[in-house]
């Protein structure tokens, strides 16, 4: 399920979703949620200061204005979904379903979650602050709320050939390695495993375990251990090794169990120029 809006990420989200759906052999649904934002809400109601006839006329005009806004929003959404459907079809996901719903994005996605294998969202929505590099507020709430894997699309799609898996030996990332080994999403891709921290027997044995699990599944994965903090080590590897997709757990070391500003997860979502797949 891919959630789109009128942001510059729409094409990228649709293409990433189409790519994933084609590789997974799964049906794709494109979703546009109609949510009233404060900037389009009616102005304050001063009708109580008017005479009865004028008050009724004003209320009628406000109601008509709301109806026109709603109809326009629905038509814009329909056109947006049709355009996104074309982008997804270009990636091999022909016949995607489209749906518009009223409400909040987070509530809508959590309601649909039982039937969803993978969510796809853009890093920022139509109201995010690009100049300051902020994440979209909806994305942060979705990451906290859903329990399915979440693919966070970069601003533009590019072919995905080389995958970097951020691994820390925790139960979450060990489960992630097993998910990668079992998923058709990664078949034929070059997979690299990265641990960040001091060298030692324990991290090396954990890396060997991850590499062996992938080898049994047919992957010839490369594994490396980089000294330094996870966020800087991951960023360096992405840049130096030409990585097209970063895979990481939504929670890593115990000190970042919660998704908070400053955590490795949030930092990578905010700064990483490539798509990020969060495994749960």
Least confident range from 131-135, 175-179, 248-252, 257-261: namely 257-261
Whether 140 and 228 map to the same domain: the answer is no
Least confident range from 61-75, 100-114, 179-193: namely 61-75
CATH of residue 8's domain is: 3.40.50.620
Whether 198 and 243 map to the same domain: the answer is yes
Domain range for 163 is: 158-272
* Better-scored residue on pLDDT, 133 or 156: 156
Whether 98 and 23 map to the same domain: the answer is yes
Q: Is 128 helix (H, G, I), strand (E, B) or coil?
A: coil
CA atoms of 216 and 192, how far apart (whole Å): 15
Final residue of a domain: which of 93, 118, 152?
A: 152
* pLDDT of amino acid 255: 38
* pLDDT of amino acid 39: 44
Final residue of a domain: which of 152, 184, 213?
A: 152
Whether 227 and 99 map to the same domain: the answer is no
Report the share of the chain in percent with pLDDT over 90: 57
CA atoms of 276 and 66, how far apart (whole Å): 38
**Residue 50 domain-assigned (yes or no):** no
* Residue ranges in the chain assigned as alpha helix (H): 10-24, 52-90, 105-112, 137-145, 171-182, 201-216, 230-240, 264-271
Instruction: Say how many domains are in the chain.
Output: 2
**Residue 16 domain-assigned (yes or no):** yes
Least confident range from 55-59, 99-103, 202-206: namely 55-59
Whether 9 and 123 map to the same domain: the answer is yes
Angstrom CA distances, 103 to 32, 36, 169, 254, stand at: 10, 8, 39, 35
* pLDDT of amino acid 184: 96
Taking residues 174-184, what's their average pLDDT? 95
**Residue 214 domain-assigned (yes or no):** yes
Whether 148 and 79 map to the same domain: the answer is yes
Does pLDDT of 57 surpass 70? yes
- The pLDDT-based confidence of 6 (bands split at 50, 70, 90) is confident
Q: Is the pTM of this model over 0.85?
A: no
* pLDDT of amino acid 271: 83
Angstrom CA distances, 260 to 47, 101, 149, 169, 269, stand at: 44, 29, 19, 21, 12
């Amino acid at each position: 399920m891919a959630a789109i809006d009128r942001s510059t990420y729409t094409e990228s989200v649709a293409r990433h979703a189409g790519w994933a759906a084609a590789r997974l052999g799964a049906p794709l649904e494109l979703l546009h949620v109609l949510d009233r934002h404060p900037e389009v809400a009616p102005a304050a109601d001063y009708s109580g200061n008017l005479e009865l006839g004028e008050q009724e006329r004003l209320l009628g005009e406000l109601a008509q204005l709301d109806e026109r806004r709603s109809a326009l929003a629905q038509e814009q959404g329909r056109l947006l979904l049709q355009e996104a459907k074309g982008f997804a079809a270009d990636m091999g996901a022909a016949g995607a379903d489209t749906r518009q719903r009223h409400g909040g994005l987070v509530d809508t996605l959590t309601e649909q979650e039982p039937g969803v294998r993978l969510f796809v969202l853009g890093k920022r929505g139509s109201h995010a602050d690009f100049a300051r590099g902020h994440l979209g507020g909806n994305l942060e709430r979705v990451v906290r709320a859903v329990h399915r894997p979440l693919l966070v699309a970069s601003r533009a799609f590019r072919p995905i050939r080389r995958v970097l898996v951020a691994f820390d030996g925790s139960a979450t990332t060990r489960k992630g390695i097993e998910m990668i080994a079992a998923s058709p999403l990664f078949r034929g891709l070059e997979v690299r495993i990265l641990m960040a921290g001091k060298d030692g027997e324990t991290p090396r044995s954990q890396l060997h375990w991850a590499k062996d699990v992938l080898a049994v599944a047919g992957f010839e994965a490369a594994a490396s251990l980089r000294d330094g903090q996870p966020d800087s080590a991951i960023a360096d590897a992405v840049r130096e090794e030409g990585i097209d997709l970063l895979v990481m757990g939504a929670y890593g070391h115990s000190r970042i169990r919660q998704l908070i500003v400053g955590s490795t997860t949030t930092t990578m979502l905010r700064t990483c120029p490539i798509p990020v797949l969060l495994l749960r």
